[in-house]
């Protein structure tokens, strides 16, 4: 550490408060955190301007904190309160300049409880991406750096609301600038920023950020509580996510297998009678051999642009089994895409046989637009219902998909804050 890098202290010439002088020999500005005076570090700390008594933005980091970043010692030397307002909403974050005597300057950003580390890129050899170029682009802009492809994410028009500490440039309250951010197309590793106005009007810089929540502990700061999902936040599966996805997948298979077994156990459907039923009715004898499960009658008609009320009765060896009535009707019209239909030409009746043996079906057309209809009657014994198993399979499938898609949903949330829409690609 050189003499210029040594920690010194001065008294603010505007308010007399004691200030630690941090940041090395390249510091050009010191801003008093007590009175807001901007001091010229290159001219005996002469007062350049006073920003007034501004509220300090909330952050777990403060001036003078020291910590290691990838094994290199850094010290927090400056604080900027930044904000962006658009569409009636305001987003605020805090940028802390940090300094290392051996590795120079970098930034710690605290945004919605997420901690980022940002440094200047010195080896970017592509075209600087401006907000104007984004507006003119018909497809999502892309850039390459160090063999990785980046895609446009969002543009931020920011304003500086608070300044405190030492800086290697002259920040001021009211400074404005624009940052165009890009992310890799796959898993987020870092984010490229094309910054205009960072160190004054007309200044341009390319920066790179990475997600770094570990910096809070490294600098001895209280870990902030993140809100929402940050674009650079890596996916960390919750404990048991993979197990639950496999577990519910297994339940889907078990439910579907059970449905197959249940449906396979039902009896075959057979045609009992086919003919014309009228008001006089018909009598159809048939045999029932199974009484351990319900039976089912399915009645098909040929009604068209009309309706019919069918009277249905079944009598078994021990007397009447049931008597009921059912309406069938079918109407349609229109043509092409405007074609419509309503109603049904068929109905079904389930019943529990009282005893095996001979039965009689009585079927009559009691009311309707027509006096008679052609009818077919089918019977199925040992009726089974796998609806609940299929419903369970659907619910288990949704649960399995939810846990299995956790990484995909996280990626979608990361990109949700971008301002490029699909319409922009059209």
Beta-carbon neighbour count of residue 62 at 10 Å? Answer: 15
145, 144, 129: which is closest to 195 by C-alpha? 129
254 & 353 share domain: no
* Full strand arrangement of the beta sheet holding 372-380: 269-278, 372-380, 295-301, 346-351
302 & 203 share domain: no
180 & 245 share domain: no
Q: Is 202 a residue whose pLDDT tops 80?
A: no
26 & 66 share domain: yes
Domain presence at residue 415: yes
Question: Between these two residues, 186 and 397, which has the higher pLDDT value?
Answer: 397
Identify the CATH number of the domain in which residue 376 sits: 2.60.120.380
Domain presence at residue 303: yes
10 & 60 share domain: yes
Q: What is the mean pLDDT of residues 278-294?
A: 89
What is residue 169's DSSP assignment? S
Query: How many structural domains is the chain composed of?
Result: 3
254 & 275 share domain: no
Last residue of a domain, one of 157, 189, 218: 218
46 & 158 share domain: yes
91 & 192 share domain: yes
Domain presence at residue 230: no
Domain presence at residue 229: no
Q: What is the mean pLDDT of residues 53-64?
A: 89
pLDDT at 372: 66
Structural domain that includes position 395: 235-265+384-426
pLDDT at 36: 82
Q: What does the alpha-carbon distance between residue 50 and residue 214 come to, in Å, rounded to a whole number?
A: 35
Q: Is the pTM of this model over 0.75?
A: no
Contact criterion met (CB below 8 Å) for 45 and 10: yes
Q: What does the alpha-carbon distance between residue 150 and residue 183 come to, in Å, rounded to a whole number?
A: 5
Q: What is the pLDDT of residues 354-392, one digit of tens each?
A: 899 999 999 998 887 655 678 999 999 988 888 899 999
What is residue 34's DSSP assignment? T
Domain presence at residue 226: no
426 & 283 share domain: no
251 & 295 share domain: no
The confidence band for 422, taking pLDDT boundaries of 50, 70 and 90, is low
pLDDT at 45: 81
Domain presence at residue 179: yes
Domain presence at residue 247: yes
Q: What does the alpha-carbon distance between residue 19 and residue 34 come to, in Å, rounded to a whole number?
A: 9
Q: What does the alpha-carbon distance between residue 68 and residue 135 come to, in Å, rounded to a whole number?
A: 40
Domain presence at residue 351: yes
30 & 107 share domain: yes
78 & 154 share domain: yes
What is residue 228's DSSP assignment? S
């Amino acid at each position: 550490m050189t003499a210029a890098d040594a920690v010194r202290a001065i008294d603010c010439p505007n308010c007399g408060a004691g200030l630690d002088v941090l940041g090395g020999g390249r510091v050009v500005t010191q801003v008093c955190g007590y009175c807001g005076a901007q001091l010229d570090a290159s001219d005996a700390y002469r007062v350049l301007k006073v920003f007034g008594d501004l509220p300090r933005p909330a952050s777990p980091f403060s001036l003078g904190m020291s910590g290691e970043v990838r094994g290199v010692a850094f010290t927090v030397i400056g604080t900027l309160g930044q904000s962006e307002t658009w569409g009636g909403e305001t987003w605020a974050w805090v940028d802390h300049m940090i300094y290392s005597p051996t590795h120079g300057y970098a930034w710690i950003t605290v945004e919605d409880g997420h901690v980022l580390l940002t440094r200047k890129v010195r080896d970017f050899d592509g075209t600087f991406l401006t907000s104007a170029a984004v507006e003119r682009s018909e497809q999502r802009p892309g850039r390459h750096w160090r063999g990785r492809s980046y895609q446009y994410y969002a543009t931020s028009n920011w304003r500086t609301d608070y300044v405190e500490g030492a800086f290697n440039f002259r920040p001021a309250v009211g400074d404005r600038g624009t940052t165009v951010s890009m992310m890799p197309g796959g898993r987020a590793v870092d984010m490229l920023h094309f910054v205009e106005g960072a160190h004054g009007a007309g200044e341009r810089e390319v920066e790179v950020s990475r997600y770094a929540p570990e910096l809070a502990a490294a600098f001895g700061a209280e870990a902030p509580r993140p809100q929402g999902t940050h674009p650079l936040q890596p996916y960390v599966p919750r404990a048991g996510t993979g197990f639950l996805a496999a577990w519910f997948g297994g339940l889907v298979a078990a439910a579907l297998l059970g449905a197959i077994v249940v449906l396979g156990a039902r009896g075959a459907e057979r045609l009992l009678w086919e003919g014309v039923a009228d008001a006089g009715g018909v009598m159809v004898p048939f045999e029932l051999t199974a009484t351990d499960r319900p039976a089912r009658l399915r009645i098909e008609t040929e009604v068209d642009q009309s309706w019919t009320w069918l009277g249905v009765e079944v009598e078994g060896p021990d007397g009447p089994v049931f008597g009921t009535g059912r309406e069938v009707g079918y109407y349609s019209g229109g043509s092409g895409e405007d074609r419509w239909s309503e109603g049904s030409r068929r109905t079904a009746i389930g019943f529990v046989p009282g005893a095996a043996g001979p039965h009689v079906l009585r079927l009559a057309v009691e009311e309707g637009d027509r006096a008679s209809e052609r009818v077919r009657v089918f019977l199925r014994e040992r009726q089974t219902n796998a609806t609940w198993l299929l419903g369970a399979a659907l619910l288990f499938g949704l649960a399995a998909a939810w846990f299995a898609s956790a990484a995909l949903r996280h990626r979608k949330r990361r990109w949700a804050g971008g301002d490029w829409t699909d319409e922009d690609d059209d």
